[in-house]
Structure formats: structure tokens, C-alpha cells
Amino acid sequence: MSISLARPIDPMIPRTLFDSDHEAFRATARRFFEQEVVPNIERYEQQQHVDRSLWNKAGELGLLCATMPEEYGGSGVDRLYSMILIEEQGYAMDSSSGMSLHSDIVANYINNFGTHEQKLEWLPKMATGEVVGAIAMTEPGTGSDLQGVRTTAVLDGDDYVVNGSKIFITNGYLCDMAVVVVKTGNTEKGSSNLSLLIIDAKSPGFSKGKPLNKVGMKGQDTCELFFDNVRVPKANLLGMEGMGFIMLMKELAWERLIVAIICQAGAEAAFAQTLQYVKERKAFGKTVMSFQNTRFKLAEMRTDIDMGRAYVDRCMQMQLTESLAIEAAAAAKYKISEMFSKVVDECVQLHGGYGYMLEYPIARAYIDNRANRIYAGTNEIMKELISRSL
Ligand SMILES: Cc1cc2nc3c(=O)[nH]c(=O)nc-3n(C[C@H](O)[C@H](O)[C@H](O)COP(=O)(O)OP(=O)(O)OC[C@H]3O[C@@H](n4cnc5c(N)ncnc54)[C@H](O)[C@@H]3O)c2cc1C
């Protein structure tokens, strides 16, 4: 990419979350994105997935599964490290790598609900990048309404036999393993029919579709997974049968906050990129920055971004003590993803025609950001959750 990336400017209210160890990790993460990812983004977009070797490189640098316990290959550090990695991905304006989903969601399920043997089998390999993880909930016929899942797992001897399919699965194309939501029961209470199975991608009958042709996030591998009489050892059941829904609920606040963190960083990056552009670009013999409209737009954006930053940082602080309420995290996911969309739209406008050209990172941010309002629970579902707390 020929356009240089600008670093985000400091917020008006200083951040207070990080210590010097966090900052050292940030420097490693930043170098990783600048050197290993950014130069390859266009290629990732053409092939519709990152290079498999990128995962191993991230593992070598200690960037994967850092929050997992040391005995399972992680570094046993706090979730601010996850936040830093996500932020640095956002500041690099990269939407190709699905590392947070792998480390902060998939590994987290195994660590929270797995047996010692399951953790030993999967987590160390996930930390080195030898195994890429996916989480497969959504199906062609159901997304928001998880209780409508149709992929079945029927016990036969010591194995479950799994049949069905999943769609829109991040890391699906390169995954070596997926935590899959399956229907194990047929009771009237739909939520008690769901279970989580760890399925090895090498299992006979497990197949993957081609990466899906998305509007944006073109370098991120997203695909369909198919299960045709896949035999999965009973020992691969996560937690207890019928407890899938409850397990999925446990970390929802964190999963929603992850999207808010991505969007907050994305908005800060888009703003910085635009500030750099309007200071250089000239029209009518002056810089675009000098027009009152530009300065007012920038002032409005900076205000929205800094309000978001204060809320997200506070959520993060509460998440560290596991005291973040579901509705507060839902509000962060909903509002910060909308703020990102609004900011990036204004940023494209301030770039003029160049803002519509994909060689400019702002144009890519424009098409990439849209998915944030859809995945990890749509923003309508977020509003539903917030309203339920009233
Ligand atoms: C890029 C990308 C990556 C993804 N990665 C993954 C992944 O890794 N794993 C995975 O399992 N899934 C993944 N998804 C799927 C994603 O989580 C779902 O698309 C999302 O949950 C919405 O489900 P749906 O597509 O079935 O839409 P639907 O549920 O059919 O929703 C359609 C519309 O109806 C609205 N709606 C639905 N129910 C309600 C309600 N109760 N009240 C008000 N409005 C409602 C929705 O908000 C939406 O506007 C990904 C999707 C994308 C786009």
C-alpha cells in the first residue's frame, strides 16, 4: 500500500488503563501489523484470506491466546492485552486477520468450560498458531435466533454424529478446529437443546465452502462449514449436554465489548487518516483543513470519538473485574459501531473523490466497517437487550 498510515492522536481526556508492560506489548503488536500485515493486505483481499503462516508468526511473537493460563501455552496476562492487540489491528486499518475471535472467543470457551484434557489438547496449539480456531453458531436459516439451530448431534456409542451446516464463519476457511453449536435435545424449551462440540476440521465428513464474497472485509476468511455424518468423540463435548445456550451467554458482555473496541479504534484511525489528508490537500489555494466546514466536521467527530473512548475504556476497566453488565456492553457495541460508521462516512466526504478509491485506506474502512452493526448480535438485538433492562 502506498498511502502512509497516520497514528491516532491522543484523546482530550488522557487514558489511564495501561502500564509499561502493556505498552511493550503494544509496540510488538504494532510492529507485527505494520510489517507483517499491512504490506500484504491487497494480496489477502485477492485470495480472500490471510496467509496460513501469518498465524504461526503471530504465535511466535506471543500475540495469540495471551490471556490463557501459562500451563496451557498462554502468558496468563489480563484482558487489556487483548484490547491492545485489537486496537493495533484497528490502527493498522486491517480487517483481514481474525485473531481476536480465535484468542478471545474460541480459546476462551475452551478455557472456561473445557476439561483439563481438552485444554491441554487445544490451547497450546492455538497459542502457537498451529491450530486456527473458529466459532460456528450461525446457520443459513438462523442467526439472531440461536434456538432455531438445526445442526444435530446424535449420540451413537462413544461418538456424536453431526449433520448440518453453518454459514458466515470467520476463520472458517483456514480453521483446524471449530467450536460448533449443535442441537442435542428436542425439548420444548429450545435453549436447553443446545450443546457445544469441539470439532476437528480433519474429521471425515467435515468440509468447507469457498470463502464468501463479501461487500468488505475481503481479506478475512469467512465461509460455510458442512457436516455430513461427522463422528465426534463424546470427549469433545464442551461443558455439559444441553448447557450450550448458558455457556454462550456467559461471555456475551466481553464478546460485545470486543466489537466496541474494534470500532472505537477504527474510528480513531479513520479520523487520524483524514486529519493528515486535509492538512495536505489544497483547494482554492488553501488547505482543505482551513475551511470552516472541515474544522467543524473534525470537531464534531473528535467529540463523538472521545466520548466513545471514555465509555469504552470504562467498560474495559469493569470487564477486568467481570462487573460489566450485559446491557452496558450491548450499548457499547451498538453505539460505538454506529459512531464508527458515521465518522468513516464523514471522513470519506472530506477526502473527496480519493475517498472513494480503494487504494486509500479510508475507502476500505468505509466498506469494512458496515459488518460491525450486523455480527456479534445485530444492533437491533442490542437495543432489545438494553430495553429489557428498563
Ligand atoms: C463478516 C461476518 C462474520 C461473521 N462471523 C461469524 C462467526 O464467526 N460465527 C458465527 O456463528 N456467525 C458469524 N456471523 C454471522 C452473524 O453473527 C449473523 O449474521 C448475525 O447474528 C445476524 O443473523 P442473520 O444473518 O441470520 O440475520 P437475521 O437474524 O435473519 O436478522 C435479519 C434482520 O432481522 C432483525 N431481527 C432479528 N431478530 C430480531 C428481533 N428479535 N428484534 C428486532 N429485529 C430483529 C436483525 O436485526 C436483522 O436486521 C458473521 C457475519 C458476518 C457478516
Q: How far is the CA of 208 from the centre of ligand 1 (A)?
A: 20
Q: How far is the CA of 143 from the centre of ligand 1 (A)?
A: 5
The model's pTM is 0.97
Q: What is the mean pLDDT of the chain?
A: 96
- Cα distances from 72 to residues 107, 110, 198, 235, in angstroms, run 10, 11, 17, 18
Pairing type for strands 177-183 and 194-200 reads antiparallel
257 touches 82 (CB < 8 A): no
Task: Pick the catalytic residue from 121, 241, 251, 255.
Answer: 255
- 261: Cα separation from own chain's centroid: 9
Q: How far is the CA of 120 from the centre of ligand 1 (A)?
A: 32
For 152-173, b/e burial (b = at least 16 CB within 10 A) is: bbeeeeebbbbbbbbbbbbbbb
Residue 222 CB–ligand 1 contact under 6 Å? yes
268 touches 336 (CB < 8 A): no
Beta-strand (E) ranges in 114-221?
133-136, 152-156, 159-170, 177-183, 194-200, 206-208
Residue 384 CB–ligand 1 contact under 6 Å? yes
If you take atom 7 of ligand 1, which residue's CA is the nearest one? 169
pLDDT at 211 over 50: yes
Query: Ligand 1: which atom is nearest the Cα of residue 371?
Result: 53
The string of pLDDT tens digits covering residues 257-303 is: 999 999 999 999 999 999 999 999 999 999 999 999 999 999 999 99
74 touches 27 (CB < 8 A): no
The string of pLDDT tens digits covering residues 104-150 is: 999 999 999 999 999 999 999 999 999 999 999 999 999 999 999 99
The string of pLDDT tens digits covering residues 63-91 is: 999 999 999 999 999 999 999 999 999 99
Confidence band of 1 (pLDDT split at 50, 70, 90): very low
Residue 216 CB–ligand 1 contact under 6 Å? no
pLDDT at 2 over 60: no
